[in-house]
């Protein structure tokens, strides 16, 4: 197995697979953490929720980009990415607590808050 991972293409494919799998798991956890269903709101045309979900995907991807850059072992990559996700989730809950009314407006209006006409 170690010899197979010496091939850079196999190593990149393994890292990519780990990042995608963890992103799906983490987005599922975000889905449970929010008061609304992200994908249902996006299907309804809610642009604000779509942008918020895009930010979550970008944040998770960024976590794994730096995690992969600093670790050779897959377990360390997953652990550091998971720790970063916990910090991201904590930041999300702090932001949601501070801006609870903004999320209600976002869900109701289906527009981007603060966008100039």
> What pLDDT, in 10s, does the model give residues 17-32?
999 999 999 999 988 8
Q: Rounded to 5 degrees, what angle do the CA atoms 22, 23, 28 make? A: 100
Residue 86 included in any domain: yes
Burial of 80 (0-12, 13-18, 19+ CB in 10 A): middle
Could you tell me which residue, 106 or 87, shows the higher pLDDT? Answer: 87
Cβ pair 81, 16 in contact under 8 A: no
- Number of Cβ within 10 Å of residue 75's Cβ equals 9
Residue 117 included in any domain: no
Residue 114 included in any domain: no
User: Tokens representing 61?
Assistant: 């991807």
Question: Residue 86 — pLDDT band, cuts 50, 70, 90?
Answer: very high
Q: What secondary structure letter does DSSP report for 98? A: H
Quote the domain boundaries for residue 93.
2-109
Residue 96 included in any domain: yes
Residue 116 included in any domain: no
φ, ψ (nearest 5 deg) of residue 112: -80, 125
Domain count of the chain? 1
Residue 52 included in any domain: yes
Name 69's Cβ contacts closer than 8 Å, sequence gap at least 6.
none
Q: Check pLDDT > 50 for residue 33.
A: yes
Q: Which pLDDT tens digit goes with each residue over 37-78?
A: 888 888 988 888 888 889 889 999 999 999 888 877 888 989
């Amino acid at each position: 197995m170690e010899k197979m991972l010496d091939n850079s293409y196999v190593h990149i494919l393994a890292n990519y697979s780990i990042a995608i799998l963890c992103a799906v798991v983490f987005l599922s956890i975000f889905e449970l953490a929010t008061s609304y269903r992200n994908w249902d709101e996006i299907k309804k045309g809610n642009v604000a929720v779509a942008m918020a979900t895009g930010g979550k995907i970008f944040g998770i991807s960024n976590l794994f980009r730096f995690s992969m850059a600093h670790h050779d072992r897959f377990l360390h990559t997953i652990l550091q990415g998971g720790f970063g996700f916990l910090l991201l989730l904590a930041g999300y809950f702090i932001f949601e607590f501070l801006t609870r009314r903004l999320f209600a407006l976002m869900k109701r209006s289906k527009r981007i808050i603060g966008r100039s006409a």
